[in-house]
């Protein structure tokens, strides 16, 4: 096994790795969560004023580790048949979703070094929160979430389309009911959509509400429908997780003649 293959296997192995590989992945997970905590705590002015130097030092160390990991993956990715080619293979690897997340995790630290006004880059500091998305590299069970959404994509698209239809219909109907009585509040259908979203999600902020009898009756019906409507995707995703767990636990059937896996 070449050094490139060894590095790639070490970085990509999350299930069957040895003790050292598992320890590395656990350490990276801990570093990612500590970075998220540092970003959250660093937004407190009193903490930033007292511990700003410590937080910056931790930021430098974290960026150095994440940068080394990113460059190591970029160097070793050609050991994977999917990324063959010194240039094209690395470009394909760099354009993968997780590779882009890895880059976004370190990008805010390096951008100020190019001489751009730091004040214009303050908002880019929020990109450091992308480091929480790196958990997907080291926690293989998160793949099950992706598999569930992929398996139930058609049902989820259908329910999402139904929710959008309900949003448009409910806001349109209430607009025509309430606009004569509250022209400033229900001034247009897009403005009424805020009420529809708050009602369908059963949040009900109360800043916009109907005052006519017919409007109140219609709003009551929409509120009741909203409870059942949002239960649909929840049930679909829940059923998908149950099916995924059952497939994992149940041994695959094998052909008694050739020993191959049966569909």
Residue 175 confidence (pLDDT): 93
Q: Give the DSSP per-residue string, 64-96.
A: HHHHHHHHHHHHHGGGSGGG-STTHHHHHHHTS
Q: Does position 148 have pLDDT exceeding 70, yes or no?
A: yes
Phi, psi of 261 (to 5 degrees): -75, 130
Q: CA–CA separation, 156 vs 148, rounded Å?
A: 11
Mean pLDDT estimate for the chain? 81
254 DSSP β-pair partners: 261
Q: Give the residue from 135, 128, 133 showing the smallest Cα distance to 39.
A: 128
Q: Give the residue from 130, 99, 100 showing the smallest Cα distance to 32.
A: 130
Gyration radius from the chain CA atoms: 26
Residue 121 confidence (pLDDT): 46
| pTM over the 0.85 mark | no
Q: What percentage of the chain carries pLDDT values higher than 70?
A: 80
Q: Does position 140 have pLDDT exceeding 60, yes or no?
A: no
Q: Does position 16 have pLDDT exceeding 80, yes or no?
A: no
Question: Which residues make Cβ contacts (< 8 Å) with residue 40, sequence separation at least 6?
Answer: none
Q: Domains (ranges, CATH) in the chain?
A: 3-140 (1.20.120.350), 150-249 (1.10.287.70)
* Alpha-carbon dihedral sign for residues 179, 185, 187, 189: negative
Q: CA–CA separation, 224 vs 149, rounded Å?
A: 27
Residue 177 confidence (pLDDT): 94
Q: CA–CA separation, 119 vs 43, rounded Å?
A: 16
Q: CA–CA separation, 109 vs 131, rounded Å?
A: 13
Greater confidence, 98 or 218?
A: 218
Q: Does position 141 have pLDDT exceeding 80, yes or no?
A: no
Residue 130 confidence (pLDDT): 59
pLDDT in tens, 210-246: 999 999 999 999 988 888 887 888 888 888 888 877 7
Q: Give the mean model confidence (pLDDT) for residues 66-88.
A: 91
């Amino acid at each position: 096994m070449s050094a490139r293959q060894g590095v790639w296997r070490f970085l990509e192995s999350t299930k069957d790795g040895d003790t050292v590989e598992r320890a590395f992945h656990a350490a990276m997970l801990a570093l990612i969560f500590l970075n998220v905590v540092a970003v959250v705590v660093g937004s407190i002015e009193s903490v930033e004023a007292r511990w700003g130097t410590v937080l910056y030092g931790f930021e430098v160390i974290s960026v150095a580790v994440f940068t080394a990991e990113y460059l190591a993956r970029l160097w070793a990715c050609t050991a994977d048949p999917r990324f063959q080619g010194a240039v094209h293979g690395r470009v394909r690897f760099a354009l993968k979703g997780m590779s882009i997340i890895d880059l976004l995790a370190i990008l805010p630290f390096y951008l100020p070094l190019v001489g751009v006004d730091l004040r214009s880059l303050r908002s880019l500091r929020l990109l450091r929160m992308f480091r929480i998305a790196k958990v997907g590299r080291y926690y293989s069970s998160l793949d099950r979430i992706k598999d569930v959404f992929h398996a139930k994509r058609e049902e989820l698209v259908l329910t999402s389309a139904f929710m959008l239809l309900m949003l448009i219909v409910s806001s349109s109907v209430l607009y025509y009911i309430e606009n004569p009585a509250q022209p400033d509040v229900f001034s247009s259908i897009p403005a009424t959509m805020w009420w529809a979203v708050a009602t369908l999600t059963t949040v009900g902020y109360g800043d916009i509400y109907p005052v006519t009898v017919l409007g109140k009756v219609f709003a009551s019906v929409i509120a009741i429908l909203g409870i059942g409507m949002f239960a649909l995707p929840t049930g679909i995703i829940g059923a998908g997780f149950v099916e995924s767990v059952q497939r994992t636990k149940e041994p695959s059937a094998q052909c008694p003649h050739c020993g191959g896996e049966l569909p």
